Structure 1
């Protein structure tokens, strides 16, 4: 079937592609893949010479006929972005069916409406519980123990509910995140003030890990490597503001606590022990598993994501024990997960983010970020800045490592296919 942009059916096809792009981008897909999916749909319905422009908040399609008819341009704003990997998988499968067999346009539209209206794979209470369990698992990973894990769980639930309350009243997400971070640090401050004999700082680290933007970070690096510099810059700005909100929340609480004389010291901040002991393995596996639930990964794909968390921790510890610097070990471990996760995703025909993003959870730099903020609160500006730079370097290493693993797989899968998917990959030698 072949449509033109001047036909009513052509307009419907363009509207369908825009809706698909909105769902993919809003569900956490990378810009490059969103543009590719929209072009595949329009090519399947016979529309050639279509350009797709995707950025973080708007999607534009432009069709320029080669027979002299007027060009057509359509745009759709992306007003809500919420990670939903169950919906992401469903839309990807629909795009694949449209590209491989000619589905009638009406049937495709109806199936897309069904995907849009489908009930979320997990209820809201399960997602909130998963977020809290991310914090609890991170607390176990860094050696906090069960008491600290329970405190981190409670702090995250309180912070998330406070943020949701603010959200329902139209308060900007920046302040929602700042308040959520405050609760994590506040619980730790109370434990220290009451001299409870536990690793109280691990509560903050756990709460921070649940708030860190691992998914936007990986998408940012992926967009930059793919040549989507405008969107990569926008995603980087998003990451910076998320981290700034977390830092603001923690910093405000710590500053007040230090002024009130609460005995908070940098030496009390725990770091994850480089060991494969059962608590650390359980923490890594649990962190990735609950991260996957929070991202609404369907139940049948939860186990691979959890195993990815165990694999990335095992690789990281092995490399660190053999003298590889921590940032290098982080990047290499992320590359291993990126390579294997992408390969498995292609085998089962789902987006690689479904497995890769949950797996990076154990390496997110919660301890370095908290240590930096504590140093700043104690007026150790130079030391605090160094720890914050360390946290940033670890985060960039995770994103770059994940994409490097996927790029290694791309390099050996066939030149023709790679060029069709990424035309801008031709060499320019930097000019």
Structure 2
């Protein structure tokens, strides 16, 4: 209706009080509720399985385009999703939302869901078939039995203990302590105790086991390597990478929420270690920073193999597809070799960790593109050997032995190393993206909000 027609009708109402004739309804485009539901459910499962916000957004927009949802808008938050389709021609928008109440890392689901999105994007899946595939993925079981994932958590601690200079006794003690901590945390979870306290108890059990070894064997050096291994098994590598990636790509709300999650996980670990270390100091157990292990600066087969084992077992705990296990183990060995070479070249540890992570991020992204798969299953396990378990333990020992300033610096160094790993991984991914030929899914390189220049304003 033109401007003159609207004015004429308004004047008619004003002069003689007769209501205007209702305009003829023009039908808008049809919004299929089943397509809307599919977009939401795929996004929910991707986000709950550990995918970054940007990838979830791209996947949901791809499905919306594939199944012809008109003028679809997608909003992805850390704990919720919203999809709104606008039929146009005066028809009201259709909006739906879902909440993410439970997040469980299952990287095999990421691979299956990305394959579903790719096939739907090129018209190979009808809507009914896509719903059927999604139901199979949601009900499907992971590639590994539950007992193996529990054992792998203990093997992470055992391998990490060997990585920082421990031997057979250290590996065995770290393995048993981590399993005891994990099973205790699982029992607390069944009782409805918050995850923060579950992690604190698991960390405390690992540190307590180390103190027992000190008392029994009078070996403080072994105790520190045991704690380092037990802490490494709890550190949040997956949410750390995702939080930095969300911040870099412009999803600041999700980035802040993920980073806060990382903060609370690390705080829980530090609290558990603090309680155990404080108790050990109060009981006159010999706990000193002089016994803490340093990363070896020599390339020998044992630490390289231990780094590969850390990444391999970390990958099993994240439930990556079976064909990703070998690349994850190779990536763990490679990041350790590069890190040690940089240390021998007198590069500072934080910078060495960042550079090593850039290489892993680039290689993991290239391999993922070659296989048409998501990159997180290749990248996250590979950075696990460099997660700062020793620095966290050192900080807590220093805080509880009267060296508060040194302890604070150690904790800051641990956080700096963790952020350097996350930023390095994402820089490697960005380098691959900068030279790719085509955009990704419905987002594409030109539709990426973080790529628009603001000059910081």
Matches within 5 A, 1:82-101: 82-101=104-123
Q: Secondary structure at the match of 1:324?
A: coil
Superimposed CA distance per residue, residues 253-298 of structure 1 (whole angstroms, 9 cap, x where no aligned partner) = 1101101111111111112212211111111000000000000012
Match of 2:285 among 256, 259, 262: 262
Report the counterpart of residue 106 of structure 1 in structure 2: 128
Instruction: Note closer, same or farther for the CA distance 1:409–1:170 as it changes in structure 2 (3 Å cut).
Output: same
1:301 is aligned to 2:324: yes
Aligned counterparts of 2:290 and 2:449: Cα–Cα separation in 1: 51
Q: Taking structure 1 as reference, are residues 41 and 420 closer, same or farther at Cα in structure 2, changes over 3 Å only?
A: farther
From 233, 251, 262, the equivalent of 1:239 is: 262
Q: How far 1:199 sits from its partner (Å)?
A: 1.5
Distance 1:43 1:268, change over 3 A: same
Structure 2 equivalent of residue 364 of structure 1: 387
Q: Secondary structure at the match of 1:419?
A: coil
| TM-score normalised according to structure 1 size | 0.97
Q: What is the aligned partner in structure 2 of residue 133 from structure 1?
A: 155
Look up the SS of the partner of 1:62 in the other structure.
strand
1:211 alignment partner, SS class: coil
Partner of 1:344: 367
Report the counterpart of residue 70 of structure 1 in structure 2.
Answer: 92
Give the match for residue 164 of structure 2. 142
| Corresponding position of 2:19 | none
For 2:361 and 2:300, the matched residues in 1 are separated by 24
What residue is the counterpart of 2:69 in the other structure? 47
* Residue 234 of structure 2: aligned partner: 211
Contact 2:62–2:117 (Cα < 8 Å) also in 1: yes
Q: Which residue of 2 aligns with 1:36?
A: 58
Question: d(CA) in 1 for partners of 2:393 and 2:382?
Answer: 22
TM-score, normalization by structure 2 = 0.91
Distance 1:212 1:416, change over 3 A: closer
Displacement of 1:349: 1.1
Q: What's the offset of the Cα at 1:415?
A: 7.3
Q: In the TM superposition, what is the alpha-carbon distance from 1:196 to its structure 2 partner? A: 4.3
Secondary structure (helix, strand or coil) at the match of 2:88 reads: coil
**Is 1:5–1:47's contact at 8 Å kept on the other side of the alignment?**
no
Structure 2 residue 81 is matched with structure 1 residue 59: yes
Question: Deviations 1:157-210 (Å, cap 9, x if unpaired)?
Answer: 000000000000110000000010011100100011123446221111001000
Decide which structure has the larger Cα Rg and report it: 2
Q: CA RMSD of the aligned region, Å? A: 1.5
Instruction: Give yes or no for contact 1:143–1:279 (8 Å, CA) kept in 2.
Output: no
Alpha-carbon distance, 1:416 to partner:
5.9
Q: State which of 276, 279, 303 in structure 2 corresponds to 1:280.
A: 303
Which of 180, 191, 194 is residue 213 of structure 2 equivalent to?
A: 191
What corresponds to 1:353 in structure 2? 376
Quote the residue 2:142 is aligned against: 120
- 1:200 is paired with a residue whose SS is helix
| Correspondent of 1:170 among 192, 216, 228 | 192
Q: 2:445 aligns with which of 413, 419, 426?
A: 419
Give the number of equivalent residue pairs.
427
Q: Which residue is 1:400 aligned to? A: 423
SS at match of 1:74: strand
Q: Which runs of 5+ in 1 are unaligned?
A: none
Q: CA deviation at 1:379?
A: 2.2
Q: d(CA) in 2 for partners of 1:349 and 1:144?
A: 39
Q: Paired residue for 1:311, among 317, 334, 352?
A: 334
- Counterparts in 2 of 1:202 and 1:263: CA distance versus 1, 3 Å: same
